[in-house]
Structure 1
Amino acid sequence: MKTPLALVALALASTALLSHPAQAAPKQTSAVSDAALIRTLPGFTQGEATVNGVRLHYVAGGQGSPVVLLPGWPQTWWAFHKIMPALAREHRVISVDLRGMGGSDKPTRGYEKKTMAQDIFELVRQLGHDKVDIVGHDIGAQVAFSFAANHPEATRKLVLLDVPHPDAQLATWPLLPAVGTFGDKIDEAHPFAWWFAFHQVKGLPEQLLEGRVHLEQEWFFRYLLKDEGAIDARDRAVYAAAYASRDAIRAGNAWYQAFPQDIVDDGTYSKLTMPVLALGGPGYGWLKSTLTGKATDLRVLKVEGSGHFIAEEKPEATLGYLADFLK
């Protein structure tokens, strides 16, 4: 009897939703809008700037030396919300939606990290800053590294969270996992980033994921979070809404499709001379092996007990590292 009753309940719920689409959607959308989220962060406001041919959305607050925060996939500027208020006590904090992300434009081209770094450089200049500290996570860390490599005169200090810039090592990653190493949670000694390959495919992910991108995100959060509650229901609704459309899925995938060119660009970069701090969860080994030899003043530290999403899983520890490094 359980299955028929469940099917009847599902049919009734679906009928009710389809009968009132206008009432259901706006409430959900408004609850996770940038305006609603910013109201939870006193002292912060949002802005837009057209730079390098694209419109970028950002959220800023606080006074002091500027710190630029760059998030990664599958997130938005909101990824740093747990650390933004405390950082703003000493700094002008600017959390940016990258090209292709959240409230920013999603053009068909320009997802090489060098181009995206130019976006951020022009944004920094437009906001009136000559030199900034730049903190990046995931794809944002790759853009932050490229910013420092291409615009060292504008970079005071660089912080990378769990991911380095693509280099030749990335091209050697295996297509298949080692026997017995792949499950619901990452094996840090044998990570298997299958989505790096999946996101190379053009067109198909949009068809598969439109309207159900949350399924991929839920798997990804489960695999890479140690504390799954660190990204709560509201956070997940924010990110699901941000990547719900075909355009958003296409743009997010384009960051990965640019990796081959990013690897080529990496081979042209000189050694970084500004102070560099790399904080690793599962990516600690990747950071250490990739960054060694690429910076003259480098610290690579393991954030104990953290998964991939360091600023959300360990906000107090992250703030402690940043306060010490950026002072």
Structure 2
Amino acid sequence: MDSSYSDKELIKLLPGFTNHYTKVNGVKIHYVIGGQGDPLILIPGYPETWWAYHHIMPLLSEYYQVIVVEIRGMGSSGKPESGYDKKNMAKDISELVRYLGFEKVYIGGHDIGAHVAFSYACNYPTTTIKLVLLDTPHPDPSMYQLPMLPILDANYLYPWWLSFNQVKELPEQLLEGRMSIVISWLFDHLLVNKESVSSFDRAIYIDVYNNKDAIRCSNSWYQAFPQDIADFTTYKKLNIPILAIGASGYDLLRNALPSASTNLQLEKIENCGHFLLAEKPNEVGLLIRDFLAN
């Protein structure tokens, strides 16, 4: 790994934030913390790290104590062989919340991080004040209806990686040392403004995902989907306030969340792809700030 992309070097670019590491639920967790006020937990997704939030961390830290958590298998967090169902990963977050001494938290996530944040709110509702979901709902039974082949002439980006990442062992063998191919493809095809994730940003993500263990673990987030879907069917409707911000994933949020929540605010960001934290950080940051404050 390149030391110029290490936690120690990256944190220097965000004054007021510091790196921390602790062990919870049997796994080492890396988190970045800064700011003052009520605690706001933010969780990144695939194929990113805590750095995904770097544009909005300074804004939100003016009002909240911001804690960006790298989930198990991500970045500098531990990479165990198991435990990647989102209910167990929510337990990681719950134990971290207790470790930090918080009674209640705001929590949000993007992509896989949104899965974990939603699961946290469902399993620990008494400690959840409000929930923010960015472009992705929790896995539910509708995922089984995703096509195995691209739909002819449809204006639809076929999500082949959902199936590819289900395969065990082969992706690590194919991609170790070559994750730049996948990561560049994802950003090039899931962004409207491809320059919004800079070459520096891409290098950070490639650096941490480029080894066998990182590929295995990130694929494990996807391989847990059947268990996540089964868990989802047991959850009661959430009564806490939920903000769902969608860009390319807006329709997914609009279709999935009304039946899973009673207090939903749905916002759409135009001319934006999946990585809305990079493409539209000001809009996303202000929507989150106003939602948490009201």
Shorter-chain TM-score range: over 0.9
Which of these residues, 146, 149, 155, is aligned with residue 176 of structure 1?
Answer: 149
What is the CA-CA distance between 1:320 and the residue it aligns to?
1.3
Residue 207 of structure 1 corresponds to: 173
From 132, 138, 147, the equivalent of 1:159 is 132
1:115 matched to 2:81? The reply is no
Paired residue for 1:43?
Answer: 16
Aligned twin of 2:160: 194
Q: What residue in structure 1 maps to residue 286 of structure 2?
A: 320
Matched, 1:293 2:259: yes
- C-alpha deviations, 1:256-306, integer Å up to 9, x for none? 000000000000000001000100111100111111111110011111121
Greater Cα offset, 302-311 or 157-166: 302-311
- 2:259 alignment partner, SS class: coil
Amino acid in the other structure paired with 1:280: G
Q: Which has the larger radius of gyration?
A: 1
Cα shift at 1:124: 0.9
Deviation for aligned residue 1:133:
0.6
Pick from 210, 214, 217: which aligns with 1:251? 217
Residue 130 of structure 1: which of 103, 108, 133 is its match?
Answer: 103
**1:293 aligned counterpart, secondary structure:** helix
Give 1:232's aligned amino acid: S
The CA distance in 1 between the partners of 2:4 and 2:175, in whole Å, is 22
Q: Deviations over 1:59-105 (max 9, x none)?
A: 00000011011000001011000000111111100001100000000
Partner of 1:91: 64
How many residues are treated as equivalent by the alignment? Answer: 293
Residue of structure 2 in register with 1:240 after alignment? 206
The residue number in structure 1 matching 2:247 is: 281
With normalisation by structure 1, the TM-score equals 0.88
Point out which structure has higher relative CO (alpha carbons under 8 A, 6+ apart): 2
Provide the TM-score with structure 2 as the length reference. 0.98
Q: How far apart are the structure 1 equivalents of 2:204 and 2:57? A: 17
1:52 paired residue number: 25
Corresponding letter in the other structure for 1:132: V
Which residue of 1 is the match for residue 234 of structure 2? 268
Deviation at 1:191, TM superposition (A): 3.5
C-alpha distance in 1, partners of 2:234/2:34? 35
Tell me, in whole angstroms, the C-alpha distance in 2 between the residues paired with 1:122 and 1:303: 33
Q: CA deviation at 1:192?
A: 1.5
Percent identity over paired residues: 52
After the TM superposition, list the runs of 4 or more consecutive aligned residues in structure 1 that deviate by more than 6 angstroms. none
1:200 alignment partner, SS class: coil
Name the aligned partner's letter for residue 48 of structure 1.
Y
Distance (whole Å) between structure 1 residues aligned to residue 253 and residue 38 of structure 2: 27
> CA RMSD for the aligned pairs?
0.8
1:304 to 270, 273, 276: 270
Instruction: Find out whether 1:221 has 2:221 as its counterpart.
Output: no
Q: Which amino acid aligns with 1:133?
A: Y
After TM superposition, give the deviation of residue 49 of structure 1 in Å. 1.4
Distance 1:227 1:128 in 2: 40
Map of 1:5 onto structure 2 = none
Report the 3-state secondary structure (helix = DSSP H, G, I; strand = E; otherwise coil) of the residue aligned with 1:46: strand
Q: For residues 34 and 191 of structure 1, what CA distance do their matches in structure 2 show?
A: 33
Structure 1, unaligned stretches of length 5 or more? 1-24, 182-186
